[in-house]
């Protein structure tokens, strides 16, 4: 007997990689639920203690249950590249209240947290108020930094799509998917999910990079958007600047090149590196060429693109500091 699976028709033809500030903010409720499991966000968690107190951690945790299932309405494909929180928030306002109630019941059953209210309209209004408060008190100031890392990841995925095709690009971020023609299947194994089948021709099939978690967040029901989170590359860049403790390297290389070198524990293109550093590709290439000439970087070719990563010499230098 064939294993049960969720089936997403025409998914490869409609595959996109796209971050969404609304989704990333909502997923951050997982850090509040399990802060010790998110070491890369330790700085964010410490600095937002007052903000979380203002919002109320009980309210934040109404977005996610103990099994780490997030309310589906906040896991959305971004309406366009580089969209703002305000732009996505306006779209959320147009979603019917009954959809919010449905998605909350998928997560909490009939035991809906009191902070969300009871009627459809109350549930919608309270969910949006929690999201707004969490964003403004805990997330808005950090989003530009988070977005740099997420955009660099999407740039890498776009290069992989162009060089290797959608099946290979999908396999790298989530090997559990099974590709059959243009369709994508997610085998359920022993998971207690009710299998469903949806056509993504109109809605799209979105892989959502996130800095929050390791595993994949998938829709709780077939009525939700086909949006799946995956671990974005470069999450270590959210930690405290290691360059502060690398005074020897900074003295030789300068702070910018030291930070660039420390960040390259995963291969990245010059375009992605430029996005993360907030400089032009030309400026990034100048730094990369200098580090490569010194034997601190090695390169590999990926289709039309050149990827850079630290060499063993660089790793030895970092370990010695």
Tally of residues, the chain? 321
Residues 278 and 186 in one domain: no
Domain end among 231, 264, 296: 231
In a domain, 236, yes or no: no
Residues 170 and 86 in one domain: yes
Per-residue pLDDT of the chain (321 residues; tens, 9 = 90+): 356 899 999 999 999 999 999 999 999 999 999 999 888 888 899 999 999 999 999 999 999 998 889 999 999 888 877 689 999 999 999 999 999 999 999 999 989 999 999 999 999 999 999 999 999 999 999 998 899 889 888 988 988 888 889 999 999 888 889 999 999 999 987 766 788 899 998 889 999 999 997 678 889 888 899 999 999 987 766 765 566 667 888 888 888 888 888 878 778 888 888 877 778 889 999 999 999 999 999 988 877 778 898 999 988 888 777
At residue 31, the pLDDT reads 95
Domain end among 188, 213, 231: 231
In a domain, 165, yes or no: yes
Residue 32's domain comprises 5-231
DSSP-assigned letter for residue 74: G
> Which residues pair with residue 15 across a beta bridge?
205
Residues 199 and 248 in one domain: no
CA-CA distances (angstroms) from residue 294 to 96, 271, 314, 318? Answer: 59, 21, 9, 14
Report whether 13 contacts 181 (CB < 8 A).
no
Residue 39 to residue 31: CA distance in whole angstroms: 9
At residue 13, the pLDDT reads 92
- Number of structural domains (the chain) is 2
Residues 6+ away with beta carbon under 8 Å from 73: 92, 95, 99, 100, 103, 127, 224
Report whether 276 contacts 263 (CB < 8 A).
yes
* Alpha helix ranges (H) inside the chain: 21-27, 29-33, 42-47, 49-55, 57-60, 85-93, 97-108, 120-134, 143-164, 166-173, 247-253, 255-263, 270-277, 281-293, 312-320
Report whether 187 contacts 3 (CB < 8 A).
yes
In a domain, 197, yes or no: yes
267: CATH? 1.10.10.10
3-class DSSP state for residue 180?
strand
């Amino acid at each position: 007997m064939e294993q049960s699976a969720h089936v997403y028709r025409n998914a490869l033809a409609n595959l996109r990689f796209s971050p969404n500030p609304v989704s990333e903010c909502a997923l951050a409720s997982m850090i509040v639920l399990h802060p010790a499991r998110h070491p890369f966000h330790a700085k964010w968690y410490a600095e937002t203690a007052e903000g979380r107190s203002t919002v109320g951690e009980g309210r934040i945790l109404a977005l996610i249950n103990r099994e780490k299932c997030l309310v589906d309405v906040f896991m959305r494909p971004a309406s366009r590249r580089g969209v703002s929180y305000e732009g996505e928030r306006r779209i959320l306002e147009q979603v019917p209240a009954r959809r919010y109630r449905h998605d909350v019941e998928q997560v909490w059953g009939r035991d809906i947290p009191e902070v969300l209210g009871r009627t459809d309209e109350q549930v919608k209004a309270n969910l949006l108020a929690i999201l707004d408060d969490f964003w403004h008190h805990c997330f808005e100031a950090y989003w530009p930094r988070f977005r740099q890392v997420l955009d660099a990841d999407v740039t890498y995925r776009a290069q992989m799509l162009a060089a290797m095709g959608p099946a290979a690009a999908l396999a790298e971020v989530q090997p559990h998917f099974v590709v059959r023609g243009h369709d994508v299947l997610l085998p359920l194994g022993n998971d207690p999910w009710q299998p469903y089948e949806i056509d993504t021709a109109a809605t799209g099939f979105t892989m959502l990079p996130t800095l929050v978690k390791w595993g994949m967040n998938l829709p709780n029901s077939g009525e939700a958007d086909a949006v799946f989170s995956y671990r974005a590359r470069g999450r270590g860049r959210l930690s405290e600047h290691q360059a502060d403790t690398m005074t020897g390297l900074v003295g030789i290389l300068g702070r910018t090149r030291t930070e660039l070198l420390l960040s390259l524990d995963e291969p990245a293109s010059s375009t992605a590196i430029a996005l993360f550093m907030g400089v032009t590709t030309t400026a990034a290439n100048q730094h990369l060429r200098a580090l490569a000439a010194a034997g601190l970087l090695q390169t590999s070719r990926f289709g039309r693109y050149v990827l850079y990563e630290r060499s063993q010499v660089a790793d030895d230098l970092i370990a010695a500091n």
